[in-house]
A and B are shown apart, each in its own frame.
Chain A
């Protein structure tokens, strides 16, 4: 069975600070991994995904994530937060079925 856990339901950073959103997964086979972002009253939008190949994946809006098999992690980072990054972020894992984490709300303070 596969599962995904996002550590921290709420993360607050200052504008310009590093953003780190944590995601750990459980899977019995090599997973595909995704990060989605949801702005208020909108649907989910894909930020980035890992399927195979390079473990450091770059996405839209300056975000990137690194697949670490030994740590079963796929944490999302951005070097410098912008106010516009305030949203809810979902990590997801797929080994044939897409399973979402509980979501992390990112607050960016001026």
Chain B
């Protein structure tokens, strides 16, 4: 595997289910990101991790719970979601954060989530 991978690619869940999205990067990067992309809306940055520490949480509801067990893996745990949470969830990674890096981000293919 190369680059950034995400599983599953498609997920349908009910509002009472609990599921997890997985992201893995094979680039040796130190920073990882979750984005939400809804139809006709800009990319929304949800969470940022640097060296396994959460450095940004952009007012995301608690029904989304991220986990970064190591610098290669990032999870997004989902519970009691709402239909408006249906979207494409993108994971990305970059070499690092801050002015010392150009912050070029490498994206996974995304997980298309549908909440019924």
Q: Interface size bucket, A side?
A: 20 to 34
Contact B103 A98 (CB under 8 A): yes
Identify which of residues 53-88 in chain A touch chain B, using a CB-to-CB cut-off of 8 Å: none
Contact B43 A96 (CB under 8 A): no
Nearest Cβ distance between residue B106 and chain A, in whole angstroms?
8
Q: Interface size bucket, B side?
A: 20 to 34
Residues of chain A with a CB closer than 8 A to B43's CB = 90, 100, 103
Contact of B102 among A45, A49, A90 (CB under 8 A): A49
Given the complex of chains A and B, what is the CA–CA distance between A90 and B99 in angstroms?
21
Contact A95 B90 (CB under 8 A): no
Nearest Cβ distance between residue B36 and chain A, in whole angstroms?
12
A28 contacts the other chain (CB 8 A): no
B97 contacts the other chain (CB 8 A): yes
